Structure 1
Amino acid sequence: MARFRVCAAAAGCFLPLLVLHAWFCGSRILRNFGLQISWTTKNTLYRLDVSWPKYSEYFTGTTFCVAVDSFNGLVYVAQRGDNIPKVLVFTEDGYFLRAWNYTVDTPHGMFAASTPHEQSVWITDVGSGSYGHTVKKYNSFGDLVQILGTPGKRGSDLNPLQFDNPAELYVENTGDIYIVDGDGGLNNRLFKLSQDFMMLWLHGENGTGPTQFNIPHSVTVDSAGRVWVADRGNKRIQVLDKDTGEWLGAWDNCFTEEGPSSVRFTPDGKFLIVAQLNLSRLSVIAAPPIGSIGNCSVVSTIQLADQVLPHLLDVDGKTGAIYVAEIGAKQVQKYVPWNSYFPSLLS
């Protein structure tokens, strides 16, 4: 019994020291916050992976968005600032691989759409320079492959395609593209393009009714063929049919304090992960069954420290890990499901 008590006491001292060492040696934001704990949970499903990234000093600007290429095990981070690399590439284990800064002015959202034959990264650029107001496709080394929009010219026209503050996009395996255009600019619209960039359907009216938007900020698609849009200014999530664009319903009962800024599904499709910027909060919401939208039901929350400001997030399609771009903290953090937390921590 005495030996057991000694072992238990030793373990109780070792694990907190291990966590504190990882926090203070590996994360700039946690050094800045001092002893303040950066997250708490309710009905805990996720834990912070304090080992990601291995070195946080690579975050030299304001981190606005993150994209996970689960097929190749890569994590892309886009940041803003002068004379810094705009895109950083990490492994899913947190090792820095490379950076690039070509033709990216002011990144806002991004999406990794890789296949066995191609690695691609899409970035929405809201800058005022010669590459601003566009949606751009790159390969994994930063070579520009495709530009959607009229570079350097904001607008609301669709022919030629013009954007004004395009917030985010989602690319399906088929190559179809969903874009939310309207982070406080001229437009408040959602549209779907085919893989050869033909317009399939569009909702583009500012307002509070069905298929109307006020700062549509994030978009994702579930396995049931439903499009989920973070209608941030209206404090709701709207749901549409991906084939027709028909309105299916909306969630607003979970967002009375602040609208959602980011939406992504877990790999099994059971939960929707939602970020709320100014509340510094992540919510895990139960996905509704096919044929029903109903009301949203929060099953778990992760409360970050004040002023962390989670902007956009992405979810690893294989491991379920959540990567959160935090513009207040100027970093990206990784949260892993509970059953994979300790192996990640001790690796």
Structure 2
Amino acid sequence: MARTWVCAAGAVLLLSCLLLHSQLWGSPMSRKFAFHISWRTEQVLYRLDLGWPRYSEYFTGATFCVAADSLNGLVYVAQRGDNIPKVLVFTEDGYFLRAWNYTVDTPHGMFVSSTPHEQSVWITDVGSGPYGHTVKKYNSLGDIVQVLGTPGKKGTGLNPLQFDNPAELYVEDTGSIYIVDGDGGLNNRLIKLSQDFLILWLRGENGTGPAKFNIPHSVTLDSVGRVWVADRGNKRLQVFDKDTGEWLGAWDNCFTEEGPSSVRFTPDGKYMVVAQLNLSRLTVLAAPPAGSIGNCSVISTIQLADQVLPHLLEVDSKTGAVYVAEIGAKQVQKYVPWSSHVHALGT
């Protein structure tokens, strides 16, 4: 009988706590806490990997971007600063391998494209030096293989091709390249190049209407042939057909507070992970099926500490791990799918 009363009292206490939480939620008082437990129906999809990297002392500048080479189990980080290595290379387990700093001026975005025969590291450089305003292709040791754009000269030209503050790029398995050009510069456009670096199509100019941009900041592809652009200044994601460049729609109902600064899909194609810079927040959205893109739906959020400032992120196409380059915290953090953690505990 005593146990019954104890259980009943515990249930009443739990219900009282829930009622109190619902009354306080959203009040100024609740904002004083460094973290909170949300009772909303959000799924917990990721956990922070506290052991990555093994030693954080290698981060000596502002970490702007990160890219994963899932084929070879490597993670590349680009940082800004004077007299420091601009590119750091880690294993996916967090061990530091090497660094290089030859021809990178001011890195902004990064993408790794690897095959069994070639490892390519692409970096957008927004610096004002001799290699600025370009998109450069490196090998894994930091040697330049290809330079796109007109080094040291910003502009809007297409022949020869010019960039001004190119933000990020995505390289398709076919070799096609998608570049968002215009992190606050002259251009607000999305360019698709062939593997031979010919312009296949171009979309965008400064504006708020369909296929117009205000700081296009990140670009990625989904599994059904759609190009997604984080239109940061317009607080939305815009979607295009990868073959024709046709505008397919936009998502803006999830970004009333601040626009997305980075977007990537999970390997299973079920979710997309979005960073919001000034909110210091990661948001997991439900990916739309083929056909109409509909409206965005939030599945889960990860609230980071104030001033962490997640700039660009990467999702490992094999493990599903999320790497976040944080320019405020000057570090890269790794989040792993919670399901893999549960499986590891079970084994």
- Give the TM-score range, shorter chain: 0.7 to 0.9
Instruction: Decide whether the 8 Å contact of 1:40 with 1:302 is kept in 2.
Output: no
List aligned pairs for 1:3-42, cutoff 5 A: 42=42
Cα distance between partner residues in 1 of 2:59 and 2:280: 19
List aligned pairs for 1:48-197, cutoff 5 A: 48-197=48-197
Cα distance between partner residues in 1 of 2:198 and 2:183: 23
Cα distance between partner residues in 2 of 1:162 and 1:272: 31
What is residue 213 of structure 2 aligned with on the other side? 213
C-alpha displacement of 1:115: 0.6
Q: What do residues 271-309 of structure 1 show as CA deviations (whole Å, max 9, x unaligned)?
A: 010000000000100011100111100000000000000
Cα distance between partner residues in 2 of 1:299 and 1:138: 37
Cα distance between partner residues in 2 of 1:317 and 1:238: 22
What is residue 204 of structure 1 aligned with on the other side? 204
Residue type matched to 2:244 in 1? Answer: T
Q: Does 1:247 align with 2:247?
A: yes
Instruction: Decide whether the 8 Å contact of 1:39 with 1:303 is kept in 2.
Output: no
Greater radius of gyration (CA): 2
Return 203-212 or 215-224, whichever deviates more. Answer: 203-212
Cα distance between partner residues in 2 of 1:144 and 1:287: 36
Residue type matched to 2:305 in 1? Answer: A
Relative to 1, partners in 2 of residues 1:195 and 1:39: Cα closer, same or farther, differing over 3 Å? farther
CA RMSD of aligned residues (A): 1.5
In structure 2, the gaps of 5 or more residues are: 1-32
Q: Secondary structure at the match of 2:300?
A: strand
Residue type matched to 2:292 in 1? Answer: S
- TM-score, normalisation: structure 1: 0.87
Instruction: Decide whether the 8 Å contact of 1:39 with 1:302 is kept in 2.
Output: no
Instruction: Decide whether the 8 Å contact of 1:229 with 1:238 is kept in 2.
Output: yes
Cα distance between partner residues in 2 of 1:136 and 1:38: 40
Relative to 1, partners in 2 of residues 1:277 and 1:344: Cα closer, same or farther, differing over 3 Å? farther
Relative to 1, partners in 2 of residues 1:102 and 1:280: Cα closer, same or farther, differing over 3 Å? same
Cα distance between partner residues in 2 of 1:341 and 1:59: 26
Cα distance between partner residues in 2 of 1:226 and 1:317: 17
Residue type matched to 1:173 in 2? Answer: D
Relative to 1, partners in 2 of residues 1:188 and 1:38: Cα closer, same or farther, differing over 3 Å? farther
What is residue 306 of structure 1 aligned with on the other side? 306
Q: What do residues 183-236 of structure 1 show as CA deviations (whole Å, max 9, x unaligned)?
A: 000000001000000000001311111111000000000110000000000000
Q: Secondary structure at the match of 1:205?
A: coil
Relative to 1, partners in 2 of residues 1:39 and 1:49: Cα closer, same or farther, differing over 3 Å? farther
C-alpha displacement of 1:340: 2.2
Relative to 1, partners in 2 of residues 1:152 and 1:39: Cα closer, same or farther, differing over 3 Å? farther
Residue type matched to 2:217 in 1? Answer: H
Q: Percent of aligned pairs with the same residue?
A: 84
Cα distance between partner residues in 2 of 1:194 and 1:337: 34
What is residue 318 of structure 1 aligned with on the other side? 318
Residue type matched to 1:80 in 2? Answer: R
Cα distance between partner residues in 2 of 1:40 and 1:137: 44
Residue type matched to 1:233 in 2? Answer: G
